[in-house]
Amino acid sequence: MRHRDDMTFPPEEYARRLEDLRDRMRSRRLDAVVISDPENIMYLTDYQTTGYSFFQALVVPLDGDCFMVTRNMEESNVHARTWVEKTRPYADNGDAIQRLIEALREAGLYNSTVGYERNSYFLPAYQQDRFHSAYTGGRLLDCFGIVEEGRVCKSKHEIEIMKRAARATEAGMQAGIDIAKPGVTENEIGAAISAAMFEAGGEPPAVMPYVTSGPRSMIGHATWEGRKVQEGEHVFLEVGGCYRRYHTAMMRTVVMQDELSPSMRSAEEQMQKALKELRRYVQPGLTVSDADKIVRDIISDGSHGGSLITRSGYSIGIAFPPSWDEGYILSLMQGDPQILKEGMTFHIIPWVWGVDGDKTVGISDTFYVTETGCESFFSLPEEFTLKPGTGKPTAPAAKKANGEQAQPAS
């Protein structure tokens, strides 16, 4: 392992991650693993590129040096960003899988038991078929999840990086709230959010902000399409800030009225209550299913006419497009007996779909589990912002000066 002091985390953090991975490899009796998921490669080495649609793999042997198999163009990222010294690049018109086989043979791993990530987005079926056909000297076993076991609980170093991502998230959300008003287009809101995130030190997120207004808020995962916000409508915002590929996310809602309707008031109150109650009960040892039930029961008890149609939260951290979440590692869903552990980080989403049958609204939080409870990454007030047609926003500004945790309205 090459020692360098210009990576996201100190060298000992990467050494720990690598040794923990090798401990899991020993328990699974694997001689080596081929890691192709871009988030997992970055977690282990600090390697990142937007060119991950081309085959790339980090090979980690149980003993000996790790090496990267990459497209020629991406080899520079290995040398510029990571501690990895050995590379085995291939040309654009070359055979990536054959290069991997050759590299395994060179490393003395051709007659070994090798794990690979069968469920990786970026190791498609045709490449897996070719890998199995060409690797005739040893055994290939699915090791999907072997790196994620280490990723699910963040270290103190990762929490600090996520706090920097949170500053970008809050800056973007505040900018979106500030500019949202009747007559403004969704595009203008999206532009303001994006500019504020980047000006606050944020980097390109895995997903750009979600901005929808009025009836368009009922379209799942829709974002700006030029629509102009109308008097009396609402704007649904979901922003995920990013720093060094680590993300935090939040939802907020802006309402273009003097006061909330009874159904909108119920939605706001139930979301606030769900977040408050969950934070009260979260601690190491609470089951995922119980955490989900706390949120789900509160949301379903409102008089808003809507429902929580998805999971109530998901792990969040390292992400590349097409998604900012780690929900495939762990999501808060009914019936899951897994327990919460210190260092886990979640985006909690007690959002309400279908208020009055035609509105989606949201207030959400990203927090990390501590030894005795949890802490939010954010200070932005957890409430709807009211904007009368000719007035000014009534939501208080975030408490940024001293970092004080804002309390949700009760």
User: Would residue 273 count as lying in a domain?
Assistant: yes
pLDDT of residue 405: 44
Q: Are residues 123 and 165 in the same domain?
A: no
User: Would residue 400 count as lying in a domain?
Assistant: no
- What are the pLDDT digits (tens) for 2-50? 889 999 999 999 999 999 999 999 999 999 999 999 999 999 999 999 9
Least confident of 43-57, 109-123, 237-251, 392-406: 392-406
We report the CATH number of the domain holding residue 23 as 3.40.350.10
Q: Are residues 108 and 161 in the same domain?
A: no
Last residue of one domain, picked from the residues 151, 166, 190: 151
| pLDDT, mean over the chain | 94
Q: Are residues 299 and 161 in the same domain?
A: yes
pLDDT of residue 399: 44
Residue 397 has pLDDT above 50, yes or no: no
Residue 409 has pLDDT above 50, yes or no: no
pLDDT of residue 388: 83
Q: Are residues 235 and 327 in the same domain?
A: yes
Could you tell me if 72 and 92 are in contact, meaning their C-beta atoms sit under 8 angstroms apart? yes
We report the CATH number of the domain holding residue 327 as 3.90.230.10
Residue 394 has pLDDT above 60, yes or no: no
User: Would residue 248 count as lying in a domain?
Assistant: yes
Q: Are residues 209 and 134 in the same domain?
A: no
Q: Are residues 318 and 190 in the same domain?
A: yes
Last residue of one domain, picked from the residues 132, 151, 170: 151
Average pLDDT over residues 357-370: 97
Average pLDDT over residues 131-145: 97
Domain carrying residue 201:
153-386
Residue 60 has pLDDT above 70, yes or no: yes
Q: Are residues 195 and 86 in the same domain?
A: no
Residue 59 has pLDDT above 70, yes or no: yes
pLDDT of residue 212: 98
pLDDT class for 389, splitting at 50, 70, 90?
low
Q: Are residues 274 and 169 in the same domain?
A: yes
Q: Are residues 32 and 173 in the same domain?
A: no
Q: Are residues 170 and 265 in the same domain?
A: yes
Q: Are residues 228 and 136 in the same domain?
A: no
- What are the pLDDT digits (tens) for 64-92? 999 999 999 999 999 999 999 999 999 99
Q: Are residues 167 and 209 in the same domain?
A: yes
Our count of domains for the chain comes to 2
User: Would residue 283 count as lying in a domain?
Assistant: yes
Kindly report the pTM of this predicted structure. 0.93
Average pLDDT over residues 352-372: 97
Average pLDDT over residues 152-169: 98
User: Would residue 82 count as lying in a domain?
Assistant: yes
